[in-house]
Amino acid sequence: MINEFRSFFICVLLGPILLSCKGQNHESLTDFKRTTDEPLDGIRIAWDNSSMQRLVPRQGGQQAWAGYPRIRRLKEGVLMAIYETNGNVEIIKSEDNGHTWSDATILFEKHTQSSVTINKANGELIQLSNGDLVAGCNYRPSRDGMAPFAIAVSRSTNLGETWTTPQVIYEAGKEFANGCWEPSFLELPSGELQVYFANEGPYTQSDEQEISMLSSLDYGISWSKESVKVSFRKNHRDGMPVPVIAGNEIVMAIEDNVSGQFKPYIVRTSLENPWEIPVDGASSNRHVAHESQLPDQVYAGAPYLMQLPSGELLLSYQTTRGRSSNWELSTMEVAIGDSRGLQFSRITQPFEVPMDREAKWNSISLWDRNTVVAASSTTFRSPISEVWIILGHVIPELVAPVREVLVDGHLDRQEWQEEFPVFVGHRGLVNLQADVAHDEDFLYFAALVKYKGNWEHEVIMEEEGVTVYIDGGNFCLTSPDTGLIKVFCNSKGQYHISKGERGKWINYDIEGIRLSTQEMSQEGYSLELAVPLSALDYQLGNDMRINFKLCYQDEEGRLTEECVVHSQEDASNTWCKMKLKP
């Protein structure tokens, strides 16, 4: 059976119907030139399609605009989500890791003042070092000239069971053109609490806007009387600030419209003496966030910033990149920066949003140590904006530990890590988790394929399975050639080996390869694969590069293929860097 299986794949690999994640190198064998490119190193974010969840409206709830969501994991493990809807800012919580959520509590309720409705918007939330919760919002009068636009806060000392009466801490003008907007919080190591916001109040004779900051030295009970000007570019509009602490600096994402369309910018200051001088347009403490600058005509506003436990900063924003010029039809993107908030790249889109729909007013937060959560106001599945979340797995630069592995298809937790570091599963409800280990003679791969759909899944296509790609010499090639191999494995324990040669994958054989699989009924299957190190051009102490591809038939019978995020099937420079632990 295995010989028949291999013969079938020889035909497929030599035929014109070869499927790939990123296309095929069409150079002829005589024209082939072996080329390398810069490696794609660093962490990656792999979004989990099966984790998508609508938070608002609740099942059976009345449909109304809902958006501007922020998610927080409290120290006690409780999850909280704050968002705006119907002119109010509401909050819900989950005590079972997001499986179920409480009924909504109105945290900031719209009210009437001077015969005008004051709507509440831009809800934000922080848990302080002492365990207290502080929430903030923006007061927005429904008509000009009647009441001031304002920033207000409320506090809870019992994990959100009760909240203090909202306290207005800043008032701007009474006109929309002179308002204040979008509060966000930062607690310093000293215990000082800061709130940042976009502020048009000082510029009643122009369309300019600055970022302002107020501070509290008593956990948000009282606040400074005068605001501090944090950043301002003359004749432009700094907006939507979100700060984090990165090393010995405060690093803040803002939107800046110096190029015409808003773009994410980073402004920074010393943590020791913050904002002694406002960051103006010419300051070296202001720079474009993206490593590769976006074209002037592309809109990319409403940034949000967070820091991973490993130090890297993640930036989300809403953008028209690759879409129409209508900013209202933006979608969400997430980019990865370094620990200083520089060189944001490795861009992903958490939600697949049709061109005539939107995903805006987004945020990104920590879900657990190895997972982030993207939250969006989106119409991707409804004509009216809803609050949706999706989880993203943080794929680190891989390290293969020394382990004794019995290749039997059983993923024994004594052999493998508690959480597999590699994830593939953004395109559908089938996903792959994978891990790597080694000993003196073999490189070991473990993979767990899970079916999350409600359909009767049966493997009927020969292409369904997991492909493992190995660049044992860290050659960083742009197309298949000597030094690259791939091993296709299916759930039946069958495999096929190919090697790179002059831009093509050709049939190959390696003595000593072992594969074992275990099927789990309709839930999926697991596999363990052992590849001899002697077959991999590996030099002791050097890095390798690896990639995984998942191929399956979806619930509608379509063949779906997906590699590790940012990896191209034929270009090993895009594969994940991996070290073998001594």
Q: What is the pLDDT of residues 381-406, one digit of tens each?
A: 999 999 999 999 999 999 999 999 99
Tens digit of each residue's pLDDT (9 = 90 or more) over 417-474:
888 999 999 999 999 999 999 999 999 999 999 998 665 656 566 889 999 999 999 9
Mean pLDDT of the 520-525 span: 86
On the question of a cis peptide bond just before residue 421, with omega within 30 degrees of 0, the verdict is no
| Parallel, antiparallel or unpaired: strands 576-580 and 398-400 | parallel
- The helix or strand, by DSSP H or E, that contains position 3, with its residue range, turns out to be helix 2-14
Tokens of 26: 């069409």
Q: Which residues fall within 8 angstroms of residue 58, CB to CB, at 6 or more apart?
A: 101, 103, 104
Mean pLDDT of the 534-563 span: 93
Q: What's the one-letter identity of residue 366?
A: L
Fold of the CATH domain 2-41+397-580: Immunoglobulin-like (2.60.40)
> Which residues on neighbouring strands pair with residue 300, listed in sequence order?
319
Look-up of token digits 């003042």: 113
Quick count: other Cβ atoms within 10 Å of Cβ 171? 16
Look-up of token digits 């296509």: 461
Quick count: other Cβ atoms within 10 Å of Cβ 354? 12
Taking the domains of the chain in order of start, what are their residue ranges? Answer: 2-41+397-580, 45-395
310 touches 6 (CB < 8 A): no
Residues in the chain: 582
pLDDT for res 457: 59
pLDDT for res 27: 44
Residue 13: pLDDT above 80?
A: no
- Cα distance between residue 215 and residue 225, in whole Å: 9
Q: What is the mean pLDDT of the chain?
A: 93
- If one looks up domain 45-395 in CATH, what number appears? 2.120.10.10
Residue 8: pLDDT above 80?
A: no
Residue 6: pLDDT above 70?
A: no
3-state SS track over 42-70: CCEEEECHHHCEEEECCCCCCCCCEEEEE
Residue 357: pLDDT above 50?
A: yes
> Which residues on neighbouring strands pair with residue 498, listed in sequence order?
486, 507
| Helix boundaries (H) for 491-581 | none
Tens digit of each residue's pLDDT (9 = 90 or more) over 102-124:
999 999 999 999 899 999 999 99
pLDDT for res 141: 98
Tokens of 246: 């990165």
pLDDT for res 94: 98
Question: Global pTM?
Answer: 0.92
